[in-house]
């Protein structure tokens, strides 16, 4: 008797949409950390000037940190958030196939989001840290939901002797 294909949970489609939605949201929050205002959404020249000014300040930062040089940590957080956004995008692209790799990529993306959020909260408590932690916790809860984990941890080969068959 042929084995029937396991039914894909509805939550997989929702998680794929949430991962795709998370990418621009996390990048926008990271850009807001660097520029410290939302003008990058309205004007490219203002955004580019703010961004170059931020990276120039980071490169010219002396060995010690004064109160106004928290931007250095914001740039580090932006790098972590960008890496997490790339992982989230790759995870979303591979999500419907199942297997452990996209699930692990999704968890790594949420780890990056949570590390940036908790690190920023611990250092300076900017408003973005609350949003980052909320996004990370919500997605980790969804990724660890029983049906979702079962979908990603099932065997692809369907061997007769494996416990997943």
Regions of the chain where pLDDT drops below 70: 1-6, 40, 54, 57-58, 60-71, 154-165
pLDDT at 165: 42
pLDDT at 4: 60
79-106 per-position pLDDT tens digit? 898 999 999 999 999 888 777 888 888 8
Residue 61 has a pLDDT of 61
pLDDT in the model for residue 160: 46
Cβ of 85: how many Cβ atoms within 10 Å? Answer: 23
Q: Give the per-residue pLDDT at 87.
A: 93
Q: Locate all alpha helices (DSSP H) within the chain, ordered by sequence.
A: 10-35, 44-59, 71-94, 100-123, 127-143, 146-153
Decide if 85 contacts 109 (C-beta within 8 A): yes
Residue 63: exposure state from Cβ atoms within 10 A (0-12, 13-18, ≥19): exposed
User: How many angstroms from the chain centroid is the CA of residue 18?
Assistant: 11
Terminal CA-CA length for the chain: 13
Residue 3 has a pLDDT of 59
């Amino acid at each position: 008797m042929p084995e029937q294909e396991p039914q894909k949970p509805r939550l997989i489609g929702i998680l794929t949409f949430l991962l795709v939605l998370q990418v621009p949201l996390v990048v926008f929050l990271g850009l807001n950390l660097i520029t410290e205002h939302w003008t990058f959404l309205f004007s490219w020249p203002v955004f580019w000037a703010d961004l170059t000014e931020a990276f120039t300040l980071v490169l010219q930062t002396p060995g010690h940190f004064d109160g106004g040089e928290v931007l250095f940590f914001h740039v580090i957080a932006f790098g972590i958030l960008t890496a997490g956004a790339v992982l989230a995008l790759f995870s979303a692209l591979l999500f419907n196939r199942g297997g452990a790799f996209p699930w692990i990529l999704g968890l790594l993306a949420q780890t990056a989001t949570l590390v940036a959020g908790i690190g920023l909260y611990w250092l300076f408590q900017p408003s973005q840290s609350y949003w980052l932690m909320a996004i990370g916790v919500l997605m980790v809860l969804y990724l660890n939901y029983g049906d979702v984990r079962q979908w990603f941890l099932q065997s692809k080969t369907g061997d007769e002797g494996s416990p997943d068959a």
